[in-house]
Amino acid sequence: MRLTRTDDIASGGGDRPFPSFLSADLSQTGLFREQAVSLWDWIIETIVGPSTAASTRRPAPKPPQPPGPTQSVAVLEAPDETEPHTDEPSSPPWYAPEGAALIEPVPVPKPDLSAEGQALEQALVNELDVHTLVLPSLPRAPEAVLRCLADPDCSFREVADIISQDQVTATVVLRAANAAFWGAKKVTSLIEAVTRLGAVAMRTLMLSESLRAAAFCKTRHNRDLAELLWQRSVAGGCVMRALAEFTGKLDPEDAFVVGLLHDVGNVIVLHAADSLREFTRTGVDLETFEYLCYECHEMFGELIAEKWNLPPRLKELIQNHHGYPAQDDALRDDRLFLMLTDMINAMLGFGPSAAYDLLRSRPIRDLAIADQEGFRRFLSNLPAQLERTMAEL
């Protein structure tokens, strides 16, 4: 599914399996205890749903596999003196790899730049110096929907009228609204679909479609890099939301949007790399691309957030999420969770690789979650859950 193609969305159909990652816990309501599929699962399925062409699809990155746990159950009993005692250690889990000493995010090191890398670096500097930078625009329908939703007097009828003018957006909304969560009754009108989804889900869908368009619509020669950035964005959103649900410190839906968009400035580097390849027929290596994204994405992200008129809180997080937050920072928890998300993604193959001792890391220490009941089990399950979601890309 991409904004530039309607057949891909239409072909997705309602029979595709729902992704199991991050299912909402509905047992607290007493409803749909065993069979319900959450609306949020369907939204994630809609966001990550099928790529447009086999030639551009990259296989989902394979996160490091956590060591297989032993199948025995620990039972508290007196030791058997007749059996020899061994101190053979078990393999370390993925979140505490052997020899890992890093406890807070590290910057991406600058590689030896090739001639193409130096040209790309200079092009990015020049675009800011001479004010020739062309920022990606919000697609017409998502922009109008977001603007309408920001108006307190906006009605769902107005939102539906806007969506009706764009076939791609209309298909996305109808698919999300017809999730199994809502029972057997299908909706066919946009006003019913928008009302069923509500403002929060609509905002998330429109922002995700905008990011996908920014990555893919103007990228002709580096579709592999566009796919890479899209996978990382979705992974960031999924991990942020998982952490928010586990800790209860952030709103899960807001957390997903923050994780999805916090590195949106990377698309400017992608477009510059694409333009360079257009003229030189030579691309830049991944190491150089990673470094330039790291150096530039906060600055470019701030400009995109301004143009897209994103909420002030989201804008602040986009423009500054690598510096360690002060104790009195109003967005301290948000920034710490973003740091933790980036560290997790780096260890699971969705960012420049780094080996952290996660449980001893500074963000986890300051968030006081290392000793929470079930946190290690949560981390152990995360790679498989994330891989299942990425398989839908």
pLDDT of residue 46: 52
For the CA atoms of the chain, what is the radius of gyration?
A: 22
Q: What are phi and psi of 32, to 5 degrees?
A: 50, 50
Residue 52's pLDDT is: 34
**What are the structural domains of the chain?**
7-61+94-390 (1.10.3210.10)
pLDDT of 41: 53
What is the model's pLDDT at position 299? 93
Q: What is the pLDDT along the chain (393 residues), one digit of tens a residue?
A: 222 323 333 333 333 332 332 333 323 333 322 333 344 454 555 554 443 333 333 344 444 444 443 333 333 333 344 444 444 456 889 999 988 889 999 999 999 999 989 999 999 988 877 667 888 888 889 999 999 998 888 899 999 999 999 988 998 899 888 875 556 588 889 999 999 999 988 999 999 889 988 888 777 788 899 999 999 999 999 999 999 989 998 999 899 999 999 999 999 999 999 888 877 777 789 999 999 999 999 999 999 999 998 999 999 999 999 999 999 999 999 999 999 999 999 999 999 999 999 999 999 999 999 998 899 999 999 999 888 877 765
β-partners of residue 102 are: 356
| Stated pTM of the model | 0.74
**What are the b/e assignments for 251-279, b being 16+ CB within 10 Å?**
ebbbbbbbbbbbbbbbbbbbbbbbbbbee
212 closest CA partner among 387, 42, 4: 4
Closest to 23 (Cα-Cα) out of 33, 10, 9 = 33
